[in-house]
Each structure stands twice: as structure tokens, then as C-alpha cells.
Amino acid sequence: MYSHFFCSEHLMNYQLSRRYFLRSSAALAVSQLLSGCGGGQATAQILLLENSIPLQSIRDFHKSLPQNQKIEFKPQTQISQIFDSLYTLRHYKKPEQKIKNALNKILNKVEVYPSLTTLGDAWLSTAIQQNLIQPLSSKSLPNWQKLPKNWQKLVQRNAQGDLADDGAIYGAPYRWGSTVIAYRRDKLESLNITIKDWQDLWLPELRDRISLLDSPREVIGLTLKKLGQSYNLDNLDTISNLKTELLALHKQTKLYSSDHYLEPLILGDTWAAVAWSTDILPLLKRYPEIKFVIPQSGTSLWADLWVKPQLPQALLTSDRAEQFKIVSEWIDFCWQPKTAKQISLFTDGISPILATLPRQEIPQDLQDNVFVNSAILNSDKSEFLLPLKPETEQQYRDLWLKVRQSL
């Protein structure tokens, strides 16, 4: 995700500590979210992941708005920044009115707070549990019915953040990607090694030459896939050799990182890396010696979603309803075929709407895209990282700690 990011970066679906979200150095201050508007315009603001929407799509949407409506896009480099801003906004305390009035008079503007933000699907459960976001209305999203059913199910949740067929709609998916294995073709060809699946990471020739994402869900998950299990297995104790396999993989690993694994791969310090697709795809033309593979036994999927912040009463302005109308139109705009094609062509993710289009309507460049055509990604072999039960989360934490602390 991301890039993913961030960890668009996949964050494991744990209860995240309050301390994490209160890191003053990382959290976006509310003041950074302010922007000016005037002239009687209703202004909506969207915080989005950088490079996740093509500029052409933004321009096209701007042109579609009437003159009395305005939308501002505020790109952020990582999903974690956006999550921090959601937390900050939710716990915002209103300043004294006289100070606020003085600032508005000096700056000749009113405050605008985001009506919509990007969020990764792995963050969705925690955002719901902490009451940082609110449901979307399908009535204001005509194209919701065009979204494939599996995508609808992903974002329909109950108040605890768990999947629920009758749950509210807590997110609007607009692009997706996967975890892949990137590798140095030149290094491996000389050893007559061809990477095809997760099990190849255990090859003795790759000892101290691989990097893994710093994510329990990803690393334990890929090991489960190697053993023929699901990423979302609800009881790790049922797999007797799981710890043994993880310890063996740990001995293969040169570094764990979700953010800084590309440079070692480029320099040749590592020969294989478990990676986010959005990190790897931009490298391929510049570094032809780097290739990637979608593991044959299946992999994890991620999605970028639009979510609606849960703002305190102090931040609600008189034109809030109009702002929500604008951002609802934006979500629906992202699900239109033209925009879906632009997202899929000009970002490093794929729009879920693409799967609903007749093949003859899909540009040739996308017809040749491995993520569009992959039977592995478009089958039950590949999975989203779904919320886990608290007792399963504890199993992940305990096992991860034991593996990482081993020599």
C-alpha cells in the first residue's frame, strides 16, 4: 500500500495502543488540516494517500462541480499519518471562541476539516472500534450496487469492526493490490533458482539474503499459506509445526522492514524481499534486474478505502451536509468506469470496478496487467487480512515475540 505504504503498509489487525496514536511527532496537528474558503462556497476537504488518485481524475471531478461547490485534496505520504489525523480530530477540543474569532479575522478564512479520508482495510476495524469513522449511506452512492459483492462484504461491519452481512457500510474501496515476492533475477539465475512460491524463501541458498515485512500478520500468514492454511486461521495452536517453520524462516532473514526494504534489494544486499506491490511496480522499469512473482499458493490482498471521519460537535460547520454531498459524489465518481480505468492505468493499484467491465472495454495495457489477469489473485487462494478474535490476536503477539527474540 501501499506506497503502501505504508505499511498501505499492511497493519496487523491488532488493538493498537493509544500511545501509538498520541505520538506528537507523527500525528498531524489539527491546524495542518485547516484551509481557507470564501465567497459563499461549500468546501469539502479530502485527505488521501499520495499518488493513489491520478491528477486527471481530480481535474475531471473539479470540472463537474457547480461554481458554489469546492473540493480540496490534501495528499499524505502514509496511511499512518491519516489515521493519526483521524484520532486527533476525534479528540479535538474547541479553543476559546474569542481566540478563534481573532484568528478568523486576521486570516480572513473559516476552518475546513476533512469530510473524507483514505484508510487501508487493515486499519478499518480499529477505526470503527475507536469511533473514529462513521458509516456511509448507500442511498447517496448510486454506484455501490456496481461494486462486486466480495468488496461490499469487506466493508460491511458491525459496531465492533467485525464482518457482518447486515452491517453498516464503513468504507468505499477504490483500489487494491497485494503482497508479492520481489527478487534479484541476476543473483538467482546464477544459482539456477526460480522463485515461484512462499516455500522458496526457505531455500538454503537464500540464507541471510531475504527481507520480510515487519508485520506479524504478513509473516505468520505467508508461513500458514506455505503449510496449506489460511491467513485468517482462528487458532494457531492447531498447526503443530508453525513455530518450527517460522524459526527456520527467521534464520533466513537479513532484515525485517515494511518501509526500508527496497534499497537493500537494489544494492544486492538482499536477493529476495516480501514486498507491497505498490512499492515494487514503480521499480521495474528503472531496475530491470528486479522481478516479482505472485506466490502460487496465494497471497494477502489490501485495499484503499474512502472513509468518513467522526468529527466532534465543535468541528461541525453549517455547510457540513453540503460537504458530505460533495464527497459522496466523489466516491461515486471513483466508481465510474472512466475513473476506474484511470486509477488502474496511472496508479500502482487496480480499481475493483475493473472486474465488472466487459473485456473489450478494458484498455489493452490493463488487459496485459498481471494483477488484472492473475488467476491466483482472483481466486480463494488470495485473501484480505480480516479482523481476528482477541484470543487469536494474543496468539499472534506471543508467537511473533518468541520468533523475533530467538537467536
Which of 82-96, 121-135, 282-296 is the least confident region? 82-96
Q: Is residue 242 part of a domain?
A: yes
CA distance 189 to 182: 14
Are 239 and 268 found together in one domain?
yes
Write the DSSP assignment of 306-343 as a string of letters: EEEE---GGG--TTHHHHHHHHHHHHHHHTSHHHHHHH
User: Are the C-beta atoms of 210 and 272 separated by less than 8 Å?
Assistant: yes
Task: Determine how β-strand 210-212 pairs with β-strand 168-169.
Answer: unpaired
Q: Which of 89, 90, 86, 93 is nearest to 117 (CA)?
A: 86
Same domain, 331 and 395: no
Domain extent, residue 230, equals 179-301+386-404
Which of the residue ranges 199-203, 314-318, 345-349 would you say has the lowest mean pLDDT? 314-318
Do 56 and 184 belong together in one domain? no
The reply to whether 377 falls in a domain is no
* pLDDT tens-place string over residues 153-198: 999 999 999 999 999 999 999 999 999 999 999 999 999 999 999 9
Residue 35 and residue 160 in one domain: yes
pLDDT for res 296: 96
Does 290 lie in the same domain as 259? yes
Whether residues 103 and 149 share a domain: the answer is: yes
Place of cell 502460487: 296
Least confident of 101-105, 251-255, 296-300, 349-353: 101-105
Q: Which residues contact 9 (CB under 8 A, 6 or more apart)?
A: 1, 2, 3, 78, 79, 80, 120, 213, 215, 258, 259, 276
List the CATH number of the domain containing 291: 3.40.190.10
Question: What value does the mean pLDDT take over residues 51-79?
Answer: 92
* pLDDT, tens digit (0-9, with 9 covering 90-100), for 326-353: 999 999 999 999 999 999 999 999 999 9
Averaged pLDDT for residues 122-139 = 94
What's the rounded Cα separation, in Å, for the pair 167 and 80?
25
Place 89 in a pLDDT band, splitting at 50, 70 and 90. Answer: confident
Helical (H) or strand (E) element with 44: strand 42-49
Q: Which helix (H) or strand (E) holds 159?
A: none
* More reliable by pLDDT, 177 or 374: 177
Number of domains in the chain: 2
Residue 379, domain member (yes or no): no
- Output phi, psi for 393, to 5 deg: -55, -40
Write down the pLDDT at residue 112: 53
- Same domain flag for 306 and 278: no
The structure's pTM equals 0.82
| Mean pLDDT estimate for the chain | 85
The winner for highest mean pLDDT among 15-29, 37-51, 179-193, 356-370 is 179-193
Q: Has residue 85 been placed in a domain? A: yes
